[in-house]
Structure 1
C-alpha cells in the first residue's frame, strides 16, 4: 500500500507537470472553442481515462518495453500526432456560424464520441508516458513490494489533478465561447481557432524531441 507521504510528494510533482498548459490543455481548449463546453468536459473525462490506461499498461510491463524500443515509442507518438492533426482539420472544415450549427449541425457530437476522442488523445500523449515511466516510479517504495499495484494507486493522484485542471480550462474556454457567440461570424472564427489549437498540439508534440 502507498502512504500519505508518497501521495503528497506525488501530488506536488504532478501539479508542476500537469497544471502547466501542455497538449492536454490545448486539446481541451480547442474542443471547447470548436464544439462547446459539454463536449470539452466529455473530452476531459476521456483524456483522463486514456492517461490512466497508459499507467495501467506501464504497470503491466509496457514501460520497460518502451525504454528498450525507440521504434515503439515513436510509433505511438506519431499515431497521436496524426490523430490530432486530423481532429484539428475536421474542426476547421466544419466551423459554421451559430445558426448553422444549431440542433443537429455538423459540430454536434455525442458525449460518448467526445469521450472516445479524448481517450485516444490521452493514450497517445507522450506526456502521459513521461509521467508514468519517469515520474511515478520515483515514488514507489521497494520495501512495500508489488510495484505494479503501487503504480496503479499512485496513478490516481495525477488522474484527479488532471481532471480538476483540465475541467477548469474547459469551463473557462466554454464560457469565452458563449460570451463571443453573439456574433455568428465570430463563432466561425472561434471554431477555426479551436481547430488550429488542436493542430498546434500535434505540431508541438512533433517538434518536442524524443522521450529523453
Structure 2
C-alpha cells in the first residue's frame, strides 16, 4: 500500500502540521490556559473525534472519486493542490506576533470559570466537524500516499487517516501540558512558532505542487 519511506514522510508531515498553530491548537491551548491541562487534553480528544467523521466521509468520497471520470479527478486534484499551496503561503507570511501568543494573553486576561469537561469535548468535536477546511485537507493530502495500484483504496484511505489522527494525539497532549509553560514565555514562543510556520509552509507548498502533477490513479 505504502512504502516505508512514504510512511515516514506521511507521519512527519502530520506531526509538523499538528505542531503548527491553527484553530485546533488554539482551542486546546485556550482551554488548558483557562481550566488546566486536563481540559486541554479533553479538548484534544474532542477534536480527534471530529477528525474521525471527516476521515470516514473523505474516504468514501475518495473511493468514489478514484472510480469516476478523469474530469472529476482533475477538478478535485487542482482544488486540493490550490488549497495546499494557499495554506503554505499563509504559513510563510505569518508574522511573529500573530496567533498563539495573542490567544495565550487573551485566555489569561479573561480568567473565565472552568468549563465542564463534557462541554469542552463537544465543543472540540463540533468545531472540527463543522470546519470544511478539515475535509478538504484530508481529500488533498492523504491520496498522495496511496499507490495507484492499491486494490482497496477506500480502506487504504481509512487506515492512513486513522494513523494521522492517532499520531496527532501526543502532539495535542503536548500542547495542553505545555500551555502554562508557553504562557510564561510568550516572546520565545513567538520566535519559535514563526520559524515553524516557515518550515511547514514550504512543506505544504511542495505537497500542493506534487499533487498538481499527479496522474489519475487507475481503478
Between the aligned partners of 1:34 and 1:194, the Cα distance in structure 2 is 14
The secondary structure found in structure 1 opposite 2:173 is helix
Please state how far the C-alpha of 1:57 moved relative to its aligned partner.
0.8
Please state how far the C-alpha of 1:55 moved relative to its aligned partner.
1.3
Contact 1:81–1:203 under 8 Å retained in 2:
yes
The secondary structure found in structure 1 opposite 2:150 is helix
Q: Which residue of 1 aligns with 2:143?
A: 129
Q: Which residue of 1 aligns with 2:80?
A: 76
Between the aligned partners of 2:128 and 2:191, the Cα distance in structure 1 is 21
Please state how far the C-alpha of 1:42 moved relative to its aligned partner.
4.8
For residue 211 of structure 1, the aligned residue among 206, 209, 214 is 214
Question: Once the two structures are superposed, what CA deviation does each residue of 1:48-74 show, in whole Å capped at 9, x if it has no partner?
Answer: 433332211123x21134755434411
Between the aligned partners of 1:159 and 1:180, the Cα distance in structure 2 is 30
What TM-score do the two structures reach when normalised by structure 2? 0.57
What TM-score do the two structures reach when normalised by structure 1? 0.59
Q: Unmatched 5+ residue regions in structure 2?
A: 30-39, 112-119
Query: Are residues 50 and 92 of structure 1, via their aligned partners in 2, closer, same or farther at CA, if it must alter by over 3 Å?
Result: farther
Query: Are residues 40 and 193 of structure 1, via their aligned partners in 2, closer, same or farther at CA, if it must alter by over 3 Å?
Result: farther
2:76 equivalent to 1:63: no
Query: Are residues 173 and 21 of structure 1, via their aligned partners in 2, closer, same or farther at CA, if it must alter by over 3 Å?
Result: farther
Contact 2:55–2:162 under 8 Å retained in 1:
no
2:126 equivalent to 1:120: no
Please state how far the C-alpha of 1:169 moved relative to its aligned partner.
2.9
For residue 174 of structure 2, the aligned residue among 162, 172, 177 is 172
Contact 1:19–1:165 under 8 Å retained in 2:
no
Query: Are residues 58 and 95 of structure 1, via their aligned partners in 2, closer, same or farther at CA, if it must alter by over 3 Å?
Result: closer
Q: Which residue of 2 aligns with 1:102?
A: 108
What RMSD over aligned residues (CA atoms) do the two structures have, in Å? 4.3
The secondary structure found in structure 2 opposite 1:27 is helix
Query: Are residues 99 and 166 of structure 1, via their aligned partners in 2, closer, same or farther at CA, if it must alter by over 3 Å?
Result: closer
Task: Report 1:1-212 matches (<5 A).
Answer: 16=7, 20-22=11-13, 24-31=14-21, 35=26, 36=29, 42-59=46-63, 61-65=64-68, 67=70, 69-83=73-87, 85-86=89-90, 89=94, 93-96=98-101, 98-102=104-108, 111=124, 112-117=126-131, 120-125=133-138, 126-131=140-145, 134=147, 138-140=150-152, 152=154, 155-190=157-192, 192-193=194-195, 195-196=197-198, 199-208=201-210, 210-212=213-215
Query: Are residues 193 and 116 of structure 1, via their aligned partners in 2, closer, same or farther at CA, if it must alter by over 3 Å?
Result: farther
Please state how far the C-alpha of 1:113 moved relative to its aligned partner.
2.8
